[in-house]
Copies of this chain bind each other. A is one copy, B any other.
Amino acid sequence: MEKSLAQSVVNKMFDDDMFSQWLGIERVLIEQGHCILRMKIRNEMLNGFGIAHGGIAFSFADSALAFASNSYGKLSVALDCSISFPVAVKEGDVLTCEAKELSLTNKTGTYLIEVKNQKNENVAFFKGTVYRTSKEWFPKEK
């Protein structure tokens, strides 16, 4: 099956994304302005209280923000992100996140990313705003 532009862009980003690979992120769905990702919490992701470090859920959601906002092939950089942590994440948990585009203008985009665990509990809510540069970073295919 032919890949969409969004998939080609995100595949290229992902191949060079050392940290998303370290996190073990899987791409479940990639579309323009939208993506679903999955990852599993390992021992080396825990903090001093034996639960997942807050940076793990943030990083997972931030990858989703990058993939969703860059999927148009126009370089987008995060300006400001906020995250709420209602439920602790534990070792062995399988997290899924979904990025939805709340708004998109020529210069900015805003995304909501919900992170759930395998019990379908919301473990984090992430809202991120990106600045869309004028750089068409992804080479148009022939």
* Interfacial residues, chain A to chain B (CB-CB below 8 A): 12-20, 22, 43-50, 52-56, 58-60, 62-63, 65-66, 75, 77-88, 102-103, 105, 107-108, 110, 112, 114, 122, 125, 127, 129, 131, 137
Known A-B contacts A17-B47, A46-B19, A48-B15; the reply to A86 vs B63 at CB < 8 A is no
Given the complex of chains A and B, what is the CA–CA distance between A137 and B49 in angstroms?
Answer: 10
Residues of chain B lying within 8 A (CB to CB) of residue A49: 13, 16, 75, 137
Residue among A44, A52, A84, A114 with max Cβ neighbours from chain B (10 Å): A84
Q: Are B81 and A83 in contact (CB under 8 A)?
A: yes
Residues of chain B lying within 8 A (CB to CB) of residue A46: 16-19
